[in-house]
A and B are shown apart, each in its own frame.
Chain A
Amino acid sequence: MNGVVEAAAVSKWYGEVLGLNAFTASFGKGITGLVGPNGAGKSTLFKLLIGQLHSDQGKITLLGEDPWNNVSLKRRLGYCPEQNQLYGWLTGQQFVETLLRLDGMPPAKARQEATAALKVVGLSGAAQRPTRGYSRGMRQRAKLAQALAHHPEILILDEPLSGADPAGRVHILRTISDFARDGGHVLMSTHVLYEIERITNNIVLIHNGKAIAAGDIHAIRALIDEHPHAVRIETSKPRQLAQALARMEHVVSFEFPATDTLLVRTRKPDAFYRELPQIVSDTKLEVQGLESPDDSLDAVFRYLVG
């Protein structure tokens, strides 16, 4: 057992509900994507790794140590939770700085590191604004900034792209890639395979609390390409955006579930995510958020688990 994360037959129950079911996996260095639909057990695994939960059965280690109530281990990890709640009355700068000072950093150094981290995630312009006014994408970036500002060895990111706008996604993915390139380890969850594909080939598929597949992404992708992938886009002009997106040959259908929402189904999600920022930029249409519902991934998981 010498991986960054080692889990051996780890089980976790929430009363009658099984969060993880004899989960066994070993995650190596670099970026590992943990892919699975909502409720698959990704967040439970992460909470075990950051010591917010302890396992009912089995053994789990992070960087070779037991995470439960392990204070010193927390210096070595950076965590980005799924929820978007921040301390709303703090500015972005104060938010990151405050958390850095909890690492024991002197105030001047914390200020310097917070400024640098906010710059890395592209939030310098909004650093002096209270976080209560941040969009979902900005909150994601603020959370990422606080996770990496103290230069941890490993980043644990729970759905870091959820709700981020196209430009924010590019920024977040670039930040994660740069962190890994500089020698850091990243464990990142998503329910959208195509997001993680852009930064790593190393993935673990999780379903019903179990690791059902691990390794290279390409074989799994081939399966997924057979199922149209749904993308929900928040925009003030959904019909105009649909017109602009219609020129993509791989787009199968459009739906308008709300006045400010466009649901697109595509057969080539990777191409869709690659081309979308350019189209949005060319048409000058505003996109407030981007999300992928579980449906398409669920179909693949149903296939994999028989």
Chain B
Amino acid sequence: MDWTESFRKAWVVTGLTFRYLLGTRRVIATALLAAVPIILTLSLAAARVERFNILLFQDLMIPLFLQVVLIFITLVNATALIREEIDDNTLPFLLTRPISKPALVAYKYVGYLIAVLVLVLPPVVVAYGVTEAYGGLGFMEDADVLWGFLAATILGTAAYGALFLFISVLVRRPLAVGLLIGFVWESVVDSIPGDVPKLSVIHYLKTILKDVVAIGPLGGYPSDLSAGAAAGILIAFSIAMVILSAFVFQQMEFRQKA
């Protein structure tokens, strides 16, 4: 295998995907949504809310950012990776080049990761910075919170993206299925007793926050895993989903729409 050539192809597909996700009108809506933490913290600061501190930041970021913003942004972008190219009839241009279908899926996923992380990571850092500045604290005063949310955001982007990518190669209407999983299953799973919550991504994201953040609303979250183990499970899950997506995509036929 010629690694230079493979790297060139990976670079091109990743770049094309990056521009596809961030260069079209979709980015306006997703960037606005990604900016919600900044808008929220700035609003709290402007309104001089007395309770506004790193605890309130966590109270708001978990249900709002992790369970709504992140899911929506990953859903919209990951389902666009393959399905939109099928619907737009642009996929034949890629499929008639000497690049294997599994490689195409993998490179597109990398492009997705970079594009979405560019969208979602800066708002987390800025919102955290606004919170610390409002409290008159140094930027690294509550570094555990920052690292916890950055880790949860990165791993959440990877895991949700891989899951929604898999759904998009499996069904024709991935948005509907993704919405059900992202906003129904991931929301209610915590209230189901026993080991059922372990069948959700949010369980592992909360486990990471519980383990990394010294003081926060997830202090009593019922999970016996360490942050490292939860991160490992999410990484393994993401890789498995991408491999499954590549396998399904390899077998897929493409009957272009007229």
Residue of B nearest to A72 (CB): B98
In the docked arrangement, what's the CA distance between A87 and B19, Å?
10
Please judge, given known A-B contacts A83-B89, A87-B16, whether A71 and B100 are in contact too, CB under 8 Å. Answer: yes
Cross-chain contact A47 with B97 (CB below 8 angstroms): no
Residues of B within 8 Å of A90, CB to CB, are 19
Cross-chain contact A102 with B12 (CB below 8 angstroms): yes
16 examples of A-B residue contacts, CB within 8 angstroms: A47-B256, A52-B253, A52-B255, A53-B254, A69-B100, A71-B99, A81-B93, A82-B258, A85-B89, A86-B90, A86-B93, A99-B93, A101-B8, A101-B9, A102-B9, A106-B8
In the docked arrangement, what's the CA distance between A192 and B209, Å?
65
Give the contact-size bracket for chain A: 20 to 34
Residues of A within 8 Å of B254, CB to CB, are 47, 52-53
Residues of B within 8 Å of A14, CB to CB, are 255
Instruction: Name the interface residues of B199-249: CB closer than 8 Å to any CB of A.
Output: none
Please judge, given known A-B contacts A47-B254, A53-B255, A102-B98, whether A89 and B19 are in contact too, CB under 8 Å. Answer: yes
Our pick among A53, A81, A106 for the contact of B253 (Cβ within 8 Å) is A53
In the docked arrangement, what's the CA distance between A75 and B8, Å?
16
Residue of A nearest to B19 (CB): A89
Instruction: Name the interface residues of B1-56: CB closer than 8 Å to any CB of A.
Output: 2, 5, 8-9, 11-13, 16, 19-20, 23-24
- List 9 extra interface pairs beyond A69-B101, A72-B98, CB under 8 A: A52-B95, A52-B256, A53-B254, A71-B100, A77-B96, A78-B96, A81-B256, A89-B19, A89-B20
Cross-chain contact A101 with B255 (CB below 8 angstroms): no
Q: How many residues of B contact A (CB 8 A)?
A: 32
Instruction: Name the interface residues of A1-21: CB closer than 8 Å to any CB of B.
Output: 14
Instruction: Name the interface residues of A70-106: CB closer than 8 Å to any CB of B.
Output: 71-72, 74-75, 77-79, 81-83, 85-87, 89-90, 98-99, 101-106
Instruction: Name the interface residues of A24-82: CB closer than 8 Å to any CB of B.
Output: 43, 47, 50-54, 69, 71-72, 74-75, 77-79, 81-82
Residues of B within 8 Å of A106, CB to CB, are 8
Residues of A within 8 Å of B8, CB to CB, are 101, 104-106
Residues of A within 8 Å of B250, CB to CB, are 69
Please judge, given known A-B contacts A52-B95, A81-B89, A85-B88, whether A98 and B24 are in contact too, CB under 8 Å. Answer: no
Tell me if A190 is interfacial: C-beta within 8 Å of chain B.
no
Cross-chain contact B90 with A85 (CB below 8 angstroms): yes
Residues of B within 8 Å of A53, CB to CB, are 253-255
- For the residues of A in contact with B, the DSSP-based class is loop
Closest 8 CB pairs of A and B: A104-B5, A102-B97, A83-B89, A79-B96, A52-B254, A74-B98, A85-B89, A101-B12
Cross-chain contact A79 with B92 (CB below 8 angstroms): yes
Residues of A within 8 Å of B255, CB to CB, are 14, 47, 52-53
Q: Mark B70-112, 1 if CB is under 8 A from A, else 0.
A: 0000000000000000001110111111111100000000000
In the docked arrangement, what's the CA distance between A90 and B17, Å?
12
Cross-chain contact A82 with B256 (CB below 8 angstroms): yes
Cross-chain contact A103 with B97 (CB below 8 angstroms): yes
A27 shortest CB reach to chain B, Å:
18
Our pick among A54, A79, A103 for the contact of B98 (Cβ within 8 Å) is A103
Please judge, given known A-B contacts A53-B253, A87-B90, A104-B5, whether A74 and B96 are in contact too, CB under 8 Å. Answer: yes
Please judge, given known A-B contacts A47-B254, A47-B256, A103-B97, whether A87 and B20 are in contact too, CB under 8 Å. Answer: yes
Cross-chain contact A146 with B98 (CB below 8 angstroms): no
Residues of A within 8 Å of B97, CB to CB, are 74, 99, 102-103
In the docked arrangement, what's the CA distance between A86 and B90, Å?
6
Residues of B within 8 Å of A47, CB to CB, are 254-256
Residue of A nearest to B90 (CB): A85
Residue of B nearest to A87 (CB): B90
Cross-chain contact A104 with B24 (CB below 8 angstroms): no
Residue of B nearest to A150 (CB): B97
Cross-chain contact B96 with A50 (CB below 8 angstroms): yes
Residue of B nearest to A77 (CB): B96
A59 shortest CB reach to chain B, Å:
17
Residues of A within 8 Å of B93, CB to CB, are 81, 86-87, 99, 146
A160 shortest CB reach to chain B, Å:
14
